Amino acid sequence: MSSAVIILSPARRYDLGQFQGDKEAVFMAGGANRRSPDGTAAIVHGARGLTNALGAVADVRRSEVPVLCLVGMASTGSAAFLPPHAEFGLIPAAGAFASAFHDCSGMTEPDARIFLDTVNAAFAALDDRPAGPVLLGVPQDVLSARFVPPADLAAAPAEDRGLAAVIDEPHADRLSRALQGRTVADCLPVARPFLPAADPDWTAPELAELMARSRSPLIPVVSRPAREPARLLGVVTAARLPERLLEAV
């Protein structure tokens, strides 16, 4: 079975590269993070996989390169069969070769708060100095556990009216079909609200007073020449008006 390296891009996409060996995955993640710190994590297997990668973990620590090593642990239900499925106290023992270690295998039942606190602590340890590899052990059953019971999810909308008002995908499709063929003018209210306008020769204080009185965040500037139709010259926003006033000081 091969190990893997996760590359975290700035666009929050995850690229997965596979390698024939756990130590190779740690070395590759360390090399990538020398160029872009904290951008790559290594996924290694528990038991023999992490043991084989300890040399690479120690080398990465000596080079002071921050690398998150996600260690896939055996299910906590396999504790009675250790070894060969896993090794007792693997993460604390292997942590001597790393800069820090965090282990989720001590969870006796699914607890989202404990799990997230452990994961966040592992990520926070990457910022410690001197930098180095951080081990994060996650058992298989913890990864696949449901932290929120399905019955609680089903009862949540009944207890929270805000959740009950959420539009699901079938209702969104129904609304989309109802809007087919509608124009923007059809969406305007029948009693259209008054939109204040200013003349080009207005002063900035007059414009600010009109914004405050009409509670409008934008004011169109309209030219009204005699015997000619009105012409829109532009729009002044509430955010732009203070900037122009400060520029004039």
Q: What is the pLDDT of residues 80-114, one digit of tens each?
A: 666 665 677 888 888 899 999 998 887 777 778 88
Whether 241 contacts 202, CB under 8 Å:
no
Is the CA virtual torsion 9, 12, 13, 16 positive or negative? Answer: positive
**Average pLDDT of the residues in 228-236:** 87
Average pLDDT of every residue of the chain: 77
Residues 6+ apart with CB under 8 A from 58: 97
Among 75-79, 181-185, 223-227, the range of highest mean pLDDT: 223-227
Measured between alpha carbons, how far is 149 from 85 in angstroms, rounded to an integer? Answer: 29
The alpha carbon of residue 244 and the mean position of all alpha carbons in its chain are separated, in whole angstroms, by 36
What pTM was estimated for this model as a whole? 0.55
Whether 70 contacts 44, CB under 8 Å:
yes
Domains, the chain, ordered by start: 3-143 (3.40.50.970), 192-248 (3.10.580.10)
Pick the more confident residue, 213 or 11: 213
pLDDT at position 61 is: 93
State the Cα angle at 10 between 9 and 14, rounded to 5°: 30
Q: What confidence tens digit (pLDDT) does each residue in 125-166 have?
A: 888 888 899 999 888 888 777 776 666 655 655 555 555 555
Distance, first Cα to last Cα, the chain: 70
Residues 6+ apart with CB under 8 A from 132: 60, 61, 64, 65, 66, 67, 98, 99, 100
Whole-Å CA distances, 186 to 173, 177, 180, 194, 195: 20, 15, 11, 18, 19
237 Rama class: left (phi>0) / alpha (psi -120 to 50) / beta: beta
For tokens 């969406």, the residue is 187
**Average pLDDT of the residues in 56-64:** 91
